Structure 1
Amino acid sequence: MSTADAHPRAERAGWQSLVPGIALVTNYQRAWLGRDIVAGLVLSALLVPQGMAYAELAGLPPVTGLYTSILCLIGYAIFGPSRVLVLGPDSALGSMIAATIAPLLLADGDPARAIVLASLLAILVGVIMVVAGLAKFGFIADLLSKPTQIGYMNGLALTIIVGQLPKLLGFSVDADGLLREMGAVFSGIVAGMVNPTAAVMGFACLAGILLLNRLLPKLPSVLIVVVLASIAVNAFDLQDQGLDTIGVLPQGFPPFTVPIVRWSDLPVLALGAIGIAVVALADTMSTASAFAARRGEQVHGNQEMIGIGAANIAAGLFQGFPVSTSGSRTAVADQAGSKSQVTGLVGAVVITVVLLFATGLMQYVPQPTLGAIVVAAALSLADIAGTRRLWQQRRAEFLLSIVALLGVALLGVLPGIALAIALSILNVFRRTWWPHAAELGRAPGVSGLHDTRRYPDAERLPGLVVYRFDAPLIFANARTFSEAVRDLATTDERLTWVVIAAEPVTDVDTTAADMLEELDGWLNERGISLVFAELKDPVRDKIERYELTATIDPGHFYPTLDDAVAAYVRQTGATWQSPQGER
């Protein structure tokens, strides 16, 4: 093959890597079609009621959930790299969307303006995702550590459940914030505002979904409950008893619309978009990793960002709102035998057919049933077992999880996600700021040198301390390191060598370099040598570039701890002694 022939092919390969839908078309196997169609039909049964329920959770008309589902499925099928992931309206994002657009709405909560704001929010989320994906910022998903994710999701679940209680009970409240909403719900119950018909319907639907999920997990529990509830409403004329229903949906495919808002709205929308993008990415990467591992496939983080971004932009241009990956819907598609993103396209076609020809199907669906769907989803967000495991395994991370929960529950969804990200970053910084450190000795019957706190009977060499600092030396921990070494020097009058077991030290910045120069001078004044062992070559190169070897003896750098200890023994003739022998 000539070079001229190879270059266009390489360009096509690069283009196709950005648009995986091209590879889907060119590599699609006919044997997959039957399974994809069946999986798409099964998936549709979940997409329609959940889409409407999550739209209402976001403070939007139910039909926008169907608009969103159609366009995001098409967008991800073209640009998404995963064969199995299913995107759509999500319970975790619903509260974030509502928290973002609610302050921008007029006093009467104009639905048309809410749709415009949510659509632009979706476009902003999409742009952030696409730009970050092209810039290969897939690592952003790592900003949310597992403990803060668990706490955030637990707080979100609590917030969603409390927010849906009035709908389950058949009345509404006007309150902002978890504590105020809880108070308003309690006051409404005491004041006799509960509609018995709505309450029975709501809690019966919730119980039905939970029982079916537990006893018959392969059945479409949401669809079954929606159908039975609609039949009950029609058969017993429950609307005459004050039970609210969705009613007839607007007919037709959503029109292409460019959302236009006031300039003053943009800062609030942009801030919300950043938070939604981080949560959507973290959720997508965790779901993608789980299903990819099951199928023996690889996760393409940067392309996932582009796929999610394209799905959000597509939804936003057709009166939709921000979307993310759904673990439950992906599991349904996978269990139904889905082989490719054709499954999502089939689901999009089914929803389109409903909007064009069967909008009356939803007219008897009770509002409490939508509330029950949202509450059931919120319960699946909560990870009580994960919280219990954190308590048992690491109390510090358990506390991080609880703080993240309280941040979401008491401060609100958007401040809560910002707090969760900040806690994750601070937790990383804390481990570098106050890292684990240890004095090492020779434990009887165990090769190598080990922490004397774990091995109290470990032997030491008189006049020598081996000190390990498990972190890079940077500005944040330079003082901690210096004070620890000075304490070692002042507590042992016989000390002549301090050997730093430097294998964990992956970096030395300029602040730490200045500290080492000052520390070495202070030790030399007391007749103590600062010695390094197992220092990595890149770190050693930096020390030489900082000209620290002009202060620290170049002969005091050893490739291994054994070499450093052997040099000390040759120089002093010291022998290993037990702690009792030293006294």
Structure 2
Amino acid sequence: MAHDAAARSWPLFRSLAAYRFSLLPGDLIAGLTLAAIAIPEQMATARLGGFAPQIGFFAFMAGSLGFAMLGSNRFLSCGADSTITPIFAGGLAAAAAAGSPEYQSLAIALALMVGAMLLLSGAFRLGGIANLLSVPVMVGFLAGISVHIIVSQMPGVLGLASPSGPMLDRIGVLATELGRTNPYTLCIGFGVLAVVVISEMISAKIPGALIGLVAATLAVIAAGLEAKGVKVVGAVPGTLPRLTLPDLAPEQWVRLVPLAFVITVVVMVQTAATTRSFPSDPDKPADVDRDFLGAGAGSVLAGLIGAFPVNASPPRTGIVAETGGQSQLSGLAAAVIVLALLAFGTGLLQHVPDAALGGILLFVALRIVRVKQIATIYRQSPSEFLLILATAALIIVLPIQQGAFLGIVLSLLHGIWSTTRAKLIEFDRVPGTTIWWPAHPHIAGERIPGVAVVGLQAPLSFLNAPGFRNDVANALKAASPKLLVLEASGMVEIDFTAAQVLLDVFKMCAEQGVTIAVARLESVRAQNAFDRFGLHDVLPKDRVFHSVDEAVRALAKAR
């Protein structure tokens, strides 16, 4: 209990509060394993975004330090991420050539803006924004991202020039160029992919990407494959991170706002999912808002040292949890190892083949497609399966940043549509009890003459209030009750428009000589709405009951 209290009050490096020396060996082992996984992955992700390999290392170090400083989760690994990289790379490429100084400046500015948005989201406890993407939309989103990664990496794996233009055009060009494939790059790319897949099948703890990368590099050197058309990373500057600020005009910052918002939402969704999947304490809810602060600090630091936005990584987080990590010291240890590589070992990276990095990214692309979840949604909810297809199509066909934004819009529209589908339902009394239950053709129920019990199992808002009023009018017309009880347990929220409709319903009942009562108004927000909008001025508080049975006994004089 003392440790928990200390952790909650600790302003910085919360996971290190009351740290015990006995945890150090586990954290160091987890940090070493994390570094072995992260080094090739961060290089590959930087390449995916159009950056030099060392920029990926900068992003990992910034993400690790920033999250350790302000985050709450003990295991979460933050750094360059293949989910958001294609999105912001596509957005930045529309404004500047990849690899140019302006492109770098835009990426830095984007990291600072995303970090600021995440910090504000955490500070104002806006964790609900993480729910903007429904599961089917997120699954479709990842499937579309997967296609982008595959198409962007196949030219390097095949030894071909990268085509430009819309996604479908690029796929067409690649299909016509297959006959010119370089067999050496093909073997390297798919060989590394095979090593990673087999390693993952044996144990996620095996650094298959690093093993494949080392093997491919040795093969390039031993067989002189550079002379046979195999492209390599080349000289990697051994520069260390330093303070870097973007030199952009104000209007360029403004143009980045929509892209920064999309990236922020995706980071929030993935961070929330990661911290909930690997909780620091399984018996307590994850502190999602605090983890937004950590991810935000990571992006701000990344921007300040010349990198790009960072994100939580579920696979790397899982590695930390599975290899004995107990605190963010694991991530910090991995960051120190990466820093040492930058300072003393960049020469080791010179002959790393591009095709090997492409093979790693092909594995990432295949891993993020949630095949089992897609199959489950197809079986259990065909309409939501269409959401997967629609979202994936938007991401693939449109410019990726536009597709991502429309995916968010599609998720919101689906939520609105679900809310507007809510209909008024009738309740029956379970025979021999005082329980009132939604009427069902296969469940025996009984009704009391002159009494109608109805309810709306959804928040009452401007979206469904007009339909609610019509349904109540139809119920009054069909049953002609003397008493109407509104079962309100599902009405967790009542907005202004809905409150006006409720006033109309109360007055309509009074005009028709029908006594109306409310039962089970359990939501505190709904109770406050009754006070705030003056609903009790029309419906006295003695007409609000704890149960339907209490209302019926008090007003219908029936048992």
Global fold match (TM > 0.5): yes
Once residues 150 and 128 of structure 2 are traced to their aligned partners in structure 1, the CA distance between those partners, rounded to angstroms, is 31
Q: Give the match for residue 144 of structure 2.
A: 155
* Match of residue 50, structure 1, among 31, 41, 46: 41
Once residues 18 and 546 of structure 2 are traced to their aligned partners in structure 1, the CA distance between those partners, rounded to angstroms, is 54
- Following TM superposition, by how much is the alpha carbon of 1:521 offset from its aligned partner in structure 2, in angstroms? 4.5
8 Å contact from structure 2 (residues 491, 523) kept in 1: no
The code of the aligned residue for 1:271 comes to P
Q: Give the match for residue 350 of structure 2.
A: 363
The code of the aligned residue for 1:423 comes to L
Name the SS for the 1:257 alignment partner: coil
Matched, 1:97 2:83: no
Matched, 1:72 2:59: no
8 Å contact from structure 2 (residues 489, 521) kept in 1: yes
Q: Give the match for residue 253 of structure 2.
A: 266
8 Å contact from structure 1 (residues 104, 265) kept in 2: no
* Match of residue 380, structure 2, among 389, 393, 415: 393
- Following TM superposition, by how much is the alpha carbon of 1:167 offset from its aligned partner in structure 2, in angstroms? 1.7
Pairing 1:9-408 to 2, within 5 Å after superposition: 17-20=10-13, 24=16, 27-106=18-97, 109-189=98-178, 192-292=179-279, 299-408=286-395
8 Å contact from structure 2 (residues 204, 319) kept in 1: no
- Following TM superposition, by how much is the alpha carbon of 1:60 offset from its aligned partner in structure 2, in angstroms? 1.3
Say if 1:489 and 1:376 are closer, same or farther in 2 by CA, change over 3 A: same
Once residues 297 and 456 of structure 1 are traced to their aligned partners in structure 2, the CA distance between those partners, rounded to angstroms, is 38
- Following TM superposition, by how much is the alpha carbon of 1:75 offset from its aligned partner in structure 2, in angstroms? 2.9
Deviates more, 1:293-302 or 1:78-87: 293-302
8 Å contact from structure 1 (residues 162, 181) kept in 2: yes
The code of the aligned residue for 2:336 comes to V
Once residues 77 and 488 of structure 1 are traced to their aligned partners in structure 2, the CA distance between those partners, rounded to angstroms, is 58
- Following TM superposition, by how much is the alpha carbon of 1:38 offset from its aligned partner in structure 2, in angstroms? 2.9
Say if 1:37 and 1:467 are closer, same or farther in 2 by CA, change over 3 A: closer
Q: Give the match for residue 496 of structure 1.
A: 482
Q: Give the match for residue 3 of structure 2.
A: none
- Following TM superposition, by how much is the alpha carbon of 1:171 offset from its aligned partner in structure 2, in angstroms? 1.0
- Following TM superposition, by how much is the alpha carbon of 1:79 offset from its aligned partner in structure 2, in angstroms? 3.0
- Following TM superposition, by how much is the alpha carbon of 1:309 offset from its aligned partner in structure 2, in angstroms? 1.8
Once residues 524 and 80 of structure 1 are traced to their aligned partners in structure 2, the CA distance between those partners, rounded to angstroms, is 55
The code of the aligned residue for 2:353 comes to P
Q: Deviations 1:441-489 (Å, cap 9, x if unpaired)?
A: 2345776223333446533333332212113333322211111122223
The code of the aligned residue for 1:157 comes to S
Name the SS for the 1:68 alignment partner: helix
8 Å contact from structure 1 (residues 472, 507) kept in 2: yes
Q: Give the match for residue 465 of structure 2.
A: 478
Name the SS for the 2:258 alignment partner: helix
* Identity fraction in percent: 29
Name the SS for the 2:279 alignment partner: helix
Say if 1:176 and 1:340 are closer, same or farther in 2 by CA, change over 3 A: same
Q: Deviations 1:420-445 (Å, cap 9, x if unpaired)?
A: 33333334433433324311223457
| TM-score normalised by structure 1 residue count | 0.86
- Following TM superposition, by how much is the alpha carbon of 1:565 offset from its aligned partner in structure 2, in angstroms? 3.0
Which protein has the larger Cα radius of gyration, Structure 1 or Structure 2? Answer: 1
- Following TM superposition, by how much is the alpha carbon of 1:100 offset from its aligned partner in structure 2, in angstroms? 2.1
Say if 1:27 and 1:392 are closer, same or farther in 2 by CA, change over 3 A: same
Once residues 522 and 53 of structure 1 are traced to their aligned partners in structure 2, the CA distance between those partners, rounded to angstroms, is 66
Q: Give the match for residue 452 of structure 2.
A: 465
Name the SS for the 2:458 alignment partner: coil
Once residues 56 and 40 of structure 2 are traced to their aligned partners in structure 1, the CA distance between those partners, rounded to angstroms, is 9
Say if 1:533 and 1:19 are closer, same or farther in 2 by CA, change over 3 A: closer
Calculate the aligned-residue CA RMSD, in Å. 2.9
Say if 1:467 and 1:52 are closer, same or farther in 2 by CA, change over 3 A: same
- Following TM superposition, by how much is the alpha carbon of 1:95 offset from its aligned partner in structure 2, in angstroms? 0.3
8 Å contact from structure 1 (residues 60, 114) kept in 2: no
Name the SS for the 2:447 alignment partner: coil
8 Å contact from structure 1 (residues 70, 348) kept in 2: yes
Name the SS for the 1:18 alignment partner: coil
Name the SS for the 1:90 alignment partner: coil
- Following TM superposition, by how much is the alpha carbon of 1:245 offset from its aligned partner in structure 2, in angstroms? 0.9
8 Å contact from structure 2 (residues 146, 365) kept in 1: yes
| TM-score normalised by structure 2 residue count | 0.89
Say if 1:247 and 1:482 are closer, same or farther in 2 by CA, change over 3 A: same
Q: Deviations 1:241-280 (Å, cap 9, x if unpaired)?
A: 1111112211231332222123332123222222222212
Q: Unpaired segments of 5 or more residues in structure 2?
A: 1-5
8 Å contact from structure 2 (residues 458, 491) kept in 1: yes
The code of the aligned residue for 1:64 comes to I
- Following TM superposition, by how much is the alpha carbon of 1:369 offset from its aligned partner in structure 2, in angstroms? 0.9
Name the SS for the 2:163 alignment partner: coil
